[in-house]
Every structure is written in structure tokens, then in C-alpha cells.
Amino acid sequence: MARELRVLLVEDDPDVADLYVIQLRKDGIPLEHVRTGRDADAFVRGRVPALILADLTLPDLDGRELIERWASDSVCGGIPIWIVSNGQPEDNLWWHTAPNVQRYFLKSRVALSRLSLEIRATLGLPYGERISRIAG
């Protein structure tokens, strides 16, 4: 199954999700959003996004359990994951050994404009003036 050039945001807090969705889409990031671990798992297995932004605290599944489940799958294990969580990275040291986790962001310190730049660079998406010219 081919990967879609799409980012999946897994975030159950509607206020936080709205901030991310509005800003990242405005910046030209092809973004989908789900609120639960089960919805995230179904999306990842059915659509295979290019990148996952995952919260660790979800209403139905533990984020770590979900990430480890994906890591053991031959297709899902190749999808890079960036954790975006309120939990301190030093309290979640397991992420250093998770083969599919590349980054860990503390929600309170995320600058969405910077995150957008990093996503676009990672996915090879245009940014800056190039977005305006492509969109126009």
C-alpha cells in the first residue's frame, strides 16, 4: 500500500486540535485529524499517512501501546511518528527505543509556525512564497 502525502494528527482535546488543524492547513499541510486511538489505528492501516503527530493520552487507548503496535507492523512501522504530548519527555524515555518515533514535542512549547516548517521540510512540501504561487 502506498503512503499518502498526508499528516495524521491524533489529538483528543478539541481546543488543541482546532489550533493545530487551522494553522497547519493554513500553512499548506495536508492534514487529517482523529480524536481516538481506535480511529487513528483504522486511519493508519487504511490510508498510510506520511507522518503521524500523536498525543500519548487518548480517551480509549494508551498512546504508547498504539505506537508500539504500529512499530511491530511491516507497513505501519515505516511511518514516522512525532509525539506531541503534555507529558515530559524525560518521563517517557521509552520513545528513544521506539523505531518509528523520531521526535518528541512538549505541547506547551510547540510553536506551530516552526512545527509547520519542520513538517514541510520533512515531507518535501513547498513553503514560503512557493505555496502562494502553487495555490494561486
The fraction of the chain above a pLDDT of 90, given in percent, is: 76
What residue segments make up the domains of the chain, in order of their start? 4-135
Q: What is the pLDDT of residues 31-45, one digit of tens each?
A: 999 999 999 999 999
Query: What is the third-level CATH fold of 4-135?
Result: Rossmann fold (3.40.50)
64-98: pLDDT as tens digits: 999 999 999 999 999 999 999 987 777 777 787 88
Class of residue 92 by CB neighbours under 10 A (exposed 0-12, middle 13-18, buried 19+): middle
When pLDDT is cut at 50, 70 and 90, the band that residue 129 belongs to is very low
Cα–Cα distance measured from residue 22 to residue 34, given in angstroms and rounded to the nearest whole number: 14
Cell readout for 124 is: 518535501
The whole-model pTM stands at 0.89
What is the distance of C-alpha 46 from the center of its chain? 16
pLDDT of residue 2: 63
Residue with more model confidence, 131 or 106 = 106
